[in-house]
Structure 1
């Protein structure tokens, strides 16, 4: 039997619940930083839940009238490779398109190879590189044009 997941627009607290179950995130993003970054910006907090428990999230916000930034996201370790990140990405892209954005941008790092693969296989293109002193900590910039295909 296929596991059923619920997807909904959630809260920062929902996202932080998931964040605690992601071992790769050594430095947790403080709630205050999340609130400050999203304040006064059009934003979206998407949550995936199983049995009413948040298990994945994707947070993004408006960079400009035409560009949406996919900022943070993650899937609890016990729920990976089930298509949840893909579903969240697709829902975020659909929402951004409905809101009139023409592109979504995102940054990731070499130390997250699954995310890099997901982005490339989903039509995101490399658009830049941010050198942060080491290959592992440097950020790769991606962009994906949105359109009504």
Structure 2
């Protein structure tokens, strides 16, 4: 059995952004698309949670979400590094994020995922998320985004 820990960060720092960028560069699905400005634009001035998950002290993944003005908490971005997948870490981050958002007074958690991420879609449905919409903007059906919500009651 592995020892895992989840860190919570609610203040943005250059060090945290550098950590997130470094982790993102190790995630093949993300192709290095997020820059420091992206994190600052998404999180600046908002209630947010950045979670870092570790196995035996080694960074294994992260999850980022922030509050919207409509009382919804949006789970924006998350990933588990390839060598740590299939260990239940994404589920642990998801449950931890839901718990935190609920204690902060949010009533709904929203997430978007692409059709091409079947494992993520299955996990979301298994965890009680409901499909609420489709952003059908892509030429390739795998690039369409599914919008899912979960009531935090």
The TM-score normalised by the length of structure 2 is 0.90
Q: Is 1:24 aligned with 2:23?
A: no
Does the Cα contact within 8 Å between 2:25 and 2:32 map onto a contact in 1?
no
2:65 to 60, 63, 77: 60
SS of the aligned residue for 1:57 comes to strand
4+ residue runs over 4 A deviation: none
Unpaired runs of at least 5, structure 2: 10-15
Q: Which residue of 2 aligns with 1:120?
A: 125
Does the Cα contact within 8 Å between 1:8 and 1:47 map onto a contact in 2?
yes
1:141 to 119, 143, 147: 147
CA RMSD after TM alignment: 1.3
Unpaired runs of at least 5, structure 1: none
**How many pairs does the alignment contain?**
146
The TM-score normalised by the length of structure 1 is 0.92
- Report Cα offsets for 1:57-116 as digits up to 9, x if no partner: 000001125210000000000000101101100110000000011000000001111110
SS of the aligned residue for 2:111 comes to strand
Q: Which residue of 1 aligns with 2:92?
A: 87
